[in-house]
Amino acid sequence: MPRQVMPSNPSPLPGQECLPMAPALRTAINTAQADRLRRTLLSICDASVEASRIARKLLLVPENNTRVGQRNDPGRVICDEQEGCSEGEEHSDHHSNHPATTNVQKAPKRLRPRFATCINCDQEFDVTDNGKEACRWHDGEREPDFDGDFWADHDEDCHGRISDLEDEFPEGFKYDCCGKAGDAEGCNIGPHEEEVSNKRVRY
């Protein structure tokens, strides 16, 4: 299953002006290492409330806006008092004919990361688009397939250890869970699942 990635040219958010990006900057972003991009994005969000709002819009979703297959309870978030709530999370007072002491403030929505990594297929997935058959995986291990003739002419002294060639030549292996070839689709089908975590992270 192909890894889901953010679009290279995302459409501007409503009300946002789309400014042209310098070719050199685009190249720098496309060639930078992931850790540097994370640090850069964090610095931008710390420096700009508007940048932080856009990042929230793209990377966070309401906790109740997830599909089946979510086993864990990941980091949650409550609207930031300084930066305010993201779209659709404004606080509101509900007035009635009773005294002011009966006014009730609407609780802010809890948010969570929109993208997660599946513990079964190791692929990134969108928690808002995670159907019952979104993931295919094997729960077994790959082992060399000596029943066929794939390794018939292989000499480990010349070509290397067979066990080290699992990723390079998956067709020469088979899964011990189902007997299928090492490059075959998963024998299990279900929703993507996240790693179980009790840690709370405030964004």
pLDDT digit string (tens) for 150-197? 998 898 888 889 989 989 999 999 999 999 999 999 999 999 999 866
Q: How many CB atoms lie within 10 A of CB 168?
A: 8
Question: pLDDT value at position 148?
Answer: 85
Q: Which of 33-37, 45-49, 73-77, 158-162 has the lowest mean pLDDT?
A: 73-77
Question: pLDDT value at position 9?
Answer: 55
With contact defined as beta carbons under 8 Å apart, do 162 and 144 qualify? yes
Separation CA 125–CA 144 (nearest Å): 30
The confidence band for 54, taking pLDDT boundaries of 50, 70 and 90, is very high
Q: What kind and span of H or E run contains 61?
A: strand 60-62
Separation CA 144–CA 173 (nearest Å): 4
Is residue 166 classed exposed, middle or buried when 0-12, 13-18 and 19+ CB atoms within 10 A define those classes?
middle
Long-range Cβ contact pairs of 86-94 (< 8 A, separation 24 or more): 86/53, 86/56, 86/57, 86/60, 86/111, 87/57, 88/62
Kindly tell me if the per-residue pLDDT of 135 is higher than 90: yes
Separation CA 166–CA 150 (nearest Å): 13
Instruction: Specify the DSSP class assigned to residue 73.
Output: -
pTM for the model stands at: 0.63
Find all residues with CB under 8 Å of 97, minimum gap 6, and list them.
none
Mean pLDDT, rounded, of the chain: 78
Q: How many CB atoms lie within 10 A of CB 127?
A: 21
Tell me the β-bridge partners of 124: 117
Q: Once rounded to an integer, what is the mean pLDDT over residues 9-14? A: 55
With contact defined as beta carbons under 8 Å apart, do 106 and 67 qualify? no
Separation CA 127–CA 67 (nearest Å): 6
- Say whether 182 sits in a helix, a strand or coil: coil
Q: Which of 17-31, 36-50, 162-176 has the lowest mean pLDDT?
A: 17-31
The residue ranking higher by pLDDT, 165 or 13, is 165
Question: pLDDT value at position 155?
Answer: 87
Question: pLDDT value at position 78?
Answer: 35
The confidence band for 83, taking pLDDT boundaries of 50, 70 and 90, is very low
Question: pLDDT value at position 108?
Answer: 66
List, in sequence order, the alpha helices (H) in the chain. 23-31, 34-47, 49-59, 156-159
Question: pLDDT value at position 106?
Answer: 64
- Say whether 115 sits in a helix, a strand or coil: strand
Q: Once rounded to an integer, what is the mean pLDDT over residues 125-135? A: 93
Q: Once rounded to an integer, what is the mean pLDDT over residues 68-95? A: 42
